[in-house]
């Protein structure tokens, strides 16, 4: 008998192979997911496998101890130099000698699955565009002259069956020294999404390559630096979008570009510089050099998209809101000023859906996959510009809504971005009207005796987005704020924490010596505007879809994970739904970016999906204005919110005093 049963686990793929077949060869023939960078030369160790022993009755085989060939010289040398774990073999060296069950450990699988921490959304299966290929290149021959690049391409064709590869000019500069340093052995990073050589390393490169997934928001820029082999996040971070100095929201930036010749390019430079700095800083955090970053995925709204690309966003500020380009983009990192990355680094930008619904919305759709669900899902990506998606596998609608930066702590008197010291959770006792809160960086509530000591280092510096949402909702539940959003007087509310500041009342959340943190009437108004825009957008999509109830609501956004569903609904940020069906997805746009970074198929999927998404333009819909006005009340002027009311009781108070009435009439 010259052939044997070979069964790979965990896939269960099986076949019959002749004596002497290398395990890697068998795996490839069966389509088993087994990694190899060196192409079977026994040097990269990526193809490690673990043979089983003894009886496997369910599989119908018995594995003898000599089912694989004995350790050969290559394996021995590798084991001596680097050490193989007990029982492990190199798949390219060990050959089949009998029936065998072979376990492919997770780290040897090319298509590893990376589980997402957030409650919802889809896990990532690793299938990055960029992969490493080790090749031996023919040395130059004076009698048969050809370029080093042509011989490198020949090697990639002969040894990896890769043909028609492009390579950018800046890499050509590195080619000759790299080939010589590696003694004609090099590891080539190939971006398979673009069929392009993107980096070259002398000899065998063992360190993983890195990719950067960026969520470029109007107010904040968040990024994850990911290992392109395992999908692991090596560093995460964020910075404020420096364009804020040109305008807080999108339309004020478009106006800046319209009013100031060259103003759009100023903003382009600012955001490109910020991305470059963020990349370098994250690389430093991860202990690598930015030069190891070979791929970037960016998601952003259309205005950020155009400004980043160096396109004047003026058309996005006026009907019909025409995008310069809507398709996904594949460009050189250097084209958008990311010059510290690998010389051949590429950028993938997700497609835009419409003039006001951008690549960030596409990324949210990718991350939350409503198109794969039966449940009618509303996804709200909360930010300075909110992306809203409604639908299920039958139909998908999307719009964006200009909420402004209040949810991110801007335009709030004590507002700040989410950082240690920021108030992020608030509770107000309905009887005493006394608050307690928690700050970022401390697990204790403010009424705990150790709280002062525990927060001494960070201090209590302000209120972040989730904090202001909870504060306003709690004020409504405690009867401090009425349905119209008015803060009552000390007499009306019954607490001295309601202080008259100027002509309106503010609620004192915290004071300590010289610092007092209030929720002011202006803060409430800012939150009302923001939440009305969000609600109106969601309702508009429900109108378009012809539905009145939702199966599922997902709160996403840079701080989406931190928003309490109950408080969001008390505020009326989202239409009424069973509280249990409202979940937080965290930064879904950022997760979508990471999916597109780690999985090529995700790119193809979103590029197809965006064509199916029906776009709804809020800026010109009369119904949007109606919904917006009705949504100004907390939670809503007319909608009954039955699910919410079954869980909370909202005091029926009204502080619409003569004074307030007079001011309105002026």
**What are the residues binding a copy of itself (CB under 8 A)?**
139-143, 145-150, 169-170, 172-173, 175-177, 309-312, 314-315, 319-327, 331, 335-336, 352-355, 615, 617, 620
Task: Kindly state the smallest distance separating residue 529's Cβ from a copy of itself, in Å.
Answer: 24
Give burial (CB, 10 Å; 0-12/13-18/19+) of 412.
buried
Which of 231/391 has CB closer to a copy of itself? 391
Task: Kindly state the smallest distance separating residue 497's Cβ from a copy of itself, in Å.
Answer: 48
Task: Kindly state the smallest distance separating residue 618's Cβ from a copy of itself, in Å.
Answer: 11
Measure the CA–CA gap between 332 and 343, rounded to whole angstroms: 9
For 83, the token pair is: 């050490």
Which of 444/619 has CB closer to a copy of itself? 619
Which of 158/500 has CB closer to a copy of itself? 158
Which of 113/146 has CB closer to a copy of itself? 146
DSSP string, 32-81: -----SSSSSSSS-TTEEEE--EEETTTTEEE-TTSB----HHHHHHHHH
Contact yes or no for 297/211 (Cβ under 8 A):
yes
Task: Kindly state the smallest distance separating residue 163's Cβ from a copy of itself, in Å.
Answer: 14
Which of 302/565 has CB closer to a copy of itself? 302
Paired sense of beta strands 422-428 and 462-463, if any: parallel
Which of 1/169 has CB closer to a copy of itself? 169
Task: Kindly state the smallest distance separating residue 312's Cβ from a copy of itself, in Å.
Answer: 7
Which of 172/274 has CB closer to a copy of itself? 172
Measure the CA–CA gap between 279 and 222, rounded to whole angstroms: 11
Task: Kindly state the smallest distance separating residue 320's Cβ from a copy of itself, in Å.
Answer: 4
* Cβ neighbours of residue 544 closer than 8 Å, sequence gap 6 or more: 397, 614, 616
Ramachandran region, residue 134 (left: φ > 0; alpha: ψ -120 to 50; beta: rest): beta
User: CB count, 10 Å around CB of 494?
Assistant: 15
- Alpha-carbon distances of 554 from 205, 330, 353, 569, 587, rounded to whole Å: 42, 30, 20, 12, 11
Which of 116/615 has CB closer to a copy of itself? 615
Which of 315/551 has CB closer to a copy of itself? 315
Task: Kindly state the smallest distance separating residue 316's Cβ from a copy of itself, in Å.
Answer: 10
Give burial (CB, 10 Å; 0-12/13-18/19+) of 274.
middle
Which of 65/141 has CB closer to a copy of itself? 141
- Alpha-carbon distances of 614 from 159, 249, 270, 367, 611, rounded to whole Å: 46, 25, 33, 18, 8
Cis-peptide, bond into residue 28, ω within 30° of zero: no
The helix (H) or strand (E) run that includes residue 202 is strand 196-202
Which of 347/509 has CB closer to a copy of itself? 347
Task: Kindly state the smallest distance separating residue 99's Cβ from a copy of itself, in Å.
Answer: 50
Task: Kindly state the smallest distance separating residue 148's Cβ from a copy of itself, in Å.
Answer: 5
Measure the CA–CA gap between 571 and 539, rounded to whole angstroms: 15
Give burial (CB, 10 Å; 0-12/13-18/19+) of 143.
exposed
Contact yes or no for 458/442 (Cβ under 8 A):
yes
In sequence order, what are the beta bridge partners of 330? Answer: 348
Task: Kindly state the smallest distance separating residue 541's Cβ from a copy of itself, in Å.
Answer: 15
For 158, the token pair is: 């002969």
- For the chain, how are helix, strand and coil distributed in percent, rounded to 5? 35, 25, 40
Task: Kindly state the smallest distance separating residue 172's Cβ from a copy of itself, in Å.
Answer: 5
Task: Kindly state the smallest distance separating residue 357's Cβ from a copy of itself, in Å.
Answer: 8
Task: Kindly state the smallest distance separating residue 624's Cβ from a copy of itself, in Å.
Answer: 13
Paired sense of beta strands 210-216 and 293-300, if any: parallel
DSSP string, 599-651: BHHHHHHHHHHHHHSEE--GGG-HHHHHHHHHTTSSS-SS---HHHHTT----
Which of 53/180 has CB closer to a copy of itself? 180
Which of 142/658 has CB closer to a copy of itself? 142
CA 568 to chain centre: 22
Ramachandran region, residue 559 (left: φ > 0; alpha: ψ -120 to 50; beta: rest): alpha
Which of 171/423 has CB closer to a copy of itself? 171
């Amino acid at each position: 008998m010259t052939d044997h049963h070979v069964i790979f686990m965990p896939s269960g793929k099986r076949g019959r192979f002749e004596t002497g077949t290398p395990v890697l060869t068998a795996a490839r023939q069966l389509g088993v997911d087994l990694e190899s960078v060196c192409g079977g030369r026994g040097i990269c160790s990526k193809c490690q496998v673990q043979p089983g022993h003894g009886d496997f009755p369910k599989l119908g085989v018995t594995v003898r101890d000599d089912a694989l060939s004995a350790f050969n010289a290559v394996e021995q040398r590798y084991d001596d130099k680097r050490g193989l774990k007990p029982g492990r073999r190199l798949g390219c060296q060990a050959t089949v000698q009998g029936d065998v069950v072979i376990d492919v450990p997770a780290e040897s699988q090319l298509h590893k699955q990376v589980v997402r921490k957030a409650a919802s959304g889809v896990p990532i299966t690793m299938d990055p565009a960029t992969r490493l290929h080790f090749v031996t290149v023919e040395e130059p021959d004076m009698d048969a002259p050809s370029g080093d690049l042509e011989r490198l391409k020949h090697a990639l064709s002969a040894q990896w069956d890769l043909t028609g590869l492009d390579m950018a000019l800046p890499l050509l500069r590195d080619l000759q020294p790299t080939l010589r340093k590696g003694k004609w052995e090099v590891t080539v990073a190939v971006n398979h999404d673009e069929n392009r050589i993107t980096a070259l390393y002398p000899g065998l490169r063992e360190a993983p390559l890195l990719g950067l997934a960026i969520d470029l928001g109007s107010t904040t820029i968040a990024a994850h630096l990911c290992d392109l082999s395992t999908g692991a996040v090596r560093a995460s971070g964020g910075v404020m979008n420096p364009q804020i100095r040109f305008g807080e929201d999108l339309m004020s930036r478009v106006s800046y570009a319209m009013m100031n010749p060259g103003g759009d390019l100023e903003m382009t430079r600012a955001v490109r510089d910020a991305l470059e700095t963020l990349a370098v800083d994250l690389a430093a955090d991860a202990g690598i050099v930015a030069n190891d970053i070979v791929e970037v995925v960016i998601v952003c709204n259309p205005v950020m998209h155009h400004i980043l690309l160096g396109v004047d966003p003026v058309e996005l500020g006026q009907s019909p809101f025409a995008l310069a380009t809507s398709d996904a983009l594949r460009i050189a990192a250097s084209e958008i000023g990311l010059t510290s990355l690998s010389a051949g680094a590429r950028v993938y930008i997700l497609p835009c859906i419409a003039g006001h619904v951008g690549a960030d919305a596409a990324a949210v759709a990718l991350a939350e996959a409503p198109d794969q669900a039966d449940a009618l899902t509303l996804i709200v990506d909360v930010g300075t510009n909110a992306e809203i998606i409604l639908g299920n596998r039958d139909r998908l609608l999307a719009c964006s809504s200009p909420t402004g930066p209040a949810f991110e702590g801007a335009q709030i008197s004590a507002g700040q971005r989410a950082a240690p010291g920021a108030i992020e959770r608030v509770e107000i006792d309905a009887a005493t009207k006394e608050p307690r809160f928690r700050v970022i960086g401390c697990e204790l509530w403010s009424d705990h005796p150790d709280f002062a000591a525990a927060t001494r280092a960070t201090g209590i510096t302000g209120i972040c987005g989730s904090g202001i949402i909870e504060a306003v909702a709690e004020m409504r539940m405690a009867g401090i704020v009425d349905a119209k959003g008015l803060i009552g007087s000390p007499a009306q509310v019954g607490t001295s924490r309601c202080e008259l500041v100027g002509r309106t009342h503010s609620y004192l959340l915290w004071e300590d010596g010289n610092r007092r943190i209030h929720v002011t009437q202006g803060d409430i108004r800012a939150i009302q505007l923001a939440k009305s825009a969000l609600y109106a957008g969601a309702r508009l999509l429900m109108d378009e879809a012809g539905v009145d109830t939702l199966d599922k609501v997902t709160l996403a956004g840079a701080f989406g994970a931190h928003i309490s569903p109950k408080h969001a609904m008390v505020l009326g940020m989202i239409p009424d739904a069973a509280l249990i069906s409202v979940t937080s997805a965290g930064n879904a746009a950022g997760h979508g970016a990471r999916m597109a970074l780690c999985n090529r198929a995700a790119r193809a999927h979103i590029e197809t999906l965006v064509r199916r998404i029906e776009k709804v333009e809020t800026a010109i819909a009369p119904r949007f204005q109606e919904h917006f006005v009705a949504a100004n009340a907390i939670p809503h002027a007319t909608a009954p919110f039955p699910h919410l009311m079954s869980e909370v009781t909202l005091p029926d108070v009204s502080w619409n005093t003569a004074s307030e009435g007079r001011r309105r009439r002026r």
